[in-house]
Structure 1
Amino acid sequence: MSSKPYRQYFGRDLEAMGSAENYHHWIINEFKPYIRGHVAEVGAGSGNISTLLREYAERLTVFEPSDNMYPLLFRRFLHDSKVCTIHNTLSVQRQQLTCALDTVIYVNVLEHIENDEKELAHIHEVLKPGGHALIFVPALPFLFSNFDRQVGHFRRYLKKNLICLSEKIGFKPVKARYFDFAGIIPWFLLFVLLKQTLTGKNVNYYDKYIIPINRIFEKIISPPIGKNILLIIQKR
């Protein structure tokens, strides 16, 4: 993605998802065994995920290039010596971080970047050998909607394609699975057929009533498809 769209990102999806505490905790719980040492979160928005990551990181660096989102992130961690906020992208700062990071996290960010292969190469560059990239993205191209376009998504992924892309860069896949099976039908109905937008009201309902049940279900059975993909890859 060029710098201009990033600078103009208004975070409407982040604002709606701000209250999705169960959803965020579920994602981080999946990532938790691989969060260690010097951790970087890219596209941190206002810091909802960053706040959860802080508990497990020895040191946390959070990147947010958007001009309107960064001040929220900066104020959130202004007096936190454990967290460093950077008003830029990882790609721009990567030469200062070569082989410096233990863990890099992208939650609902990679789909915003036009050249995702190049971005993965930059992640590989900044990770220490043995370090992990923890990636969470929207899945299933048939779910791509006007809402995806409005918030700046270039794509929705298939698991096999995302794995192949990471292997092409030189990563070793550690874990890859579809996530949020129950979200497929609601997303298709609301956003593909009815062309609605994400609101705090429907997020709150889904987070409060559906996510807890879905989380139990997916702990027992790994779904064959899902609304999202969770990928954990390691630098060889």
Structure 2
Amino acid sequence: MDDGWHCHTCGVAAPKIGSFLSLCAETTANRGGFRPEYFERLAEVEEHNFWFRARNRLIAWAAAPYLRPGTHFCEIGCGTGFVLSGLARTFPTARFSATEIYADALTFASSRVPAASLYQMDARRIPFADEFDVVGVFDVLEHIEEDERVLLEIHRALVAQGRLIITVPQHPFMWSQQDEHACHVRRYRAQEISQKLEAAGFTVKLTTSFVSLLFPLMYMTRLRQRVSDADYDMTADLRLGRLTNGVLERTMAIEAALIRQGLRFPFGGSLLVVAQKRD
């Protein structure tokens, strides 16, 4: 991490907040978008929960054509670093950076991927230009009101013909108290995210839903969560018994195999999108 880093946008030296450089720190005051107390709980369950593990494998598959030796990858909104650590293990010759608005989360990410360059940063103001070969944004855009602005910022931060890999929750009709407690502001339609990417200067190369084979089960679970409960613990739903977790993970492994073979699911709990920067 370069202590002498200067913002490409405002030209000033980046201060440190704790052990991390804070890029354009004045924008981090208006945070919102997540509950910081969830980071410790997430770090405890991500390694073992079927959804996080299956999503990591799907992201690694989508990123594989682009993370060649020396490629510079940046994850925007890395949270506790679970995805970043999976990619770093799978692609050890790539170069990794990551950003997160919450310094508390970066502490977990740093322990998981000590070689990565980590920055506290607001995704609505990215102080990089023509810097990254690949950017990943995994279940982050739905937390941010100004998602179209974030896409424009990412476009500037990518090199010519750079790639953007996104995952987002799908289907507005699936809205439940889990979305509310996770501080989501939307669930996406496939056409919506494609249109926003095109408007920001990207060409969509791949789109598929996932959590598709488990969608009926997910739908029934969300129906029971329609009534808001102030004591609801989002992370409690992630703590599953070993047998249940194993069956669900194997189901998602079958789904991932079908996606790798070329099947694109038109519905599911989440969307995976790969896009390329247009010059």
Normalising by the smaller structure, the TM-score range is 0.7 to 0.9
Q: Find the residue that maps to 2:240 and give its secondary structure.
A: helix
TM-score, normalisation: structure 1: 0.86
CA offsets 1:141-173 (integer angstroms, 9 cap, x no match): 111111011011111111111111111111111
Which residue of structure 2 lines up, in the alignment, with residue 33 of structure 1? 65
Q: 1:61 and 2:97 equivalent? A: yes
How many angstroms does 1:23 deviate by? 3.2
How many angstroms does 1:16 deviate by? 4.1
User: Which moved further from structure 2: 185-194 or 165-174?
Assistant: 185-194
CA offsets 1:106-157 (integer angstroms, 9 cap, x no match): 1111111111000000000101111011001111111111101101111111
Q: 1:199 and 2:238 equivalent? A: yes
How many angstroms does 1:185 deviate by? 1.5
Q: Which amino acid aligns with 1:230?
A: L
Q: Which has the higher Rg, Structure 1 or Structure 2?
A: 2
Q: 1:223 and 2:255 equivalent? A: no
2:121 to 88, 95, 102: 88
2 CA distance for matches of 1:8 and 1:212? 30
Q: Find the residue that maps to 2:208 and give its secondary structure.
A: strand
Q: 1:143 and 2:174 equivalent? A: yes
1 CA distance for matches of 2:260 and 2:275? 20
1 CA distance for matches of 2:124 and 2:258? 37
Q: By percentage of residues, which structure has more helix?
A: 1
How do 1:41-52 and structure 2 match up within 5 A?
41-52=75-86
CA offsets 1:38-63 (integer angstroms, 9 cap, x no match): 11001111111101222436211011
How many angstroms does 1:191 deviate by? 2.4
Long gaps (5+) in structure 1: none
Which residue of structure 2 lines up, in the alignment, with residue 189 of structure 1? 220
User: Which moved further from structure 2: 13-22 or 170-179?
Assistant: 13-22
The RMSD of aligned alpha carbons is 2.4
Closer, same or farther: CA 18–111 of 1 in aligned 2, 3 Å: farther
Q: Find the residue that maps to 2:164 and give its secondary structure.
A: strand
8 Å Cα contact 2:34-2:143 kept in structure 1:
no
2 CA distance for matches of 1:23 and 1:8? 22
Closer, same or farther: CA 65–160 of 1 in aligned 2, 3 Å: same
Q: Which amino acid aligns with 2:169?
A: P
2 CA distance for matches of 1:15 and 1:3? 27
Long gaps (5+) in structure 2: 1-27, 227-231
Q: Which amino acid aligns with 2:156?
A: E
2 CA distance for matches of 1:29 and 1:74? 24
Q: Find the residue that maps to 1:5 and give its secondary structure.
A: coil
Q: Find the residue that maps to 2:32 and give its secondary structure.
A: helix
8 Å Cα contact 2:35-2:182 kept in structure 1:
no
2 CA distance for matches of 1:135 and 1:143? 19
1 CA distance for matches of 2:152 and 2:43? 26
How many angstroms does 1:104 deviate by? 0.4
8 Å Cα contact 1:124-1:235 kept in structure 2:
yes
Closer, same or farther: CA 128–2 of 1 in aligned 2, 3 Å: same
Q: 1:104 and 2:138 equivalent? A: no
8 Å Cα contact 1:7-1:67 kept in structure 2:
no
1:166 to 172, 175, 197: 197
1 CA distance for matches of 2:180 and 2:224? 15
Closer, same or farther: CA 8–223 of 1 in aligned 2, 3 Å: closer
8 Å Cα contact 1:99-1:125 kept in structure 2:
yes
**% identical equivalent positions:** 23
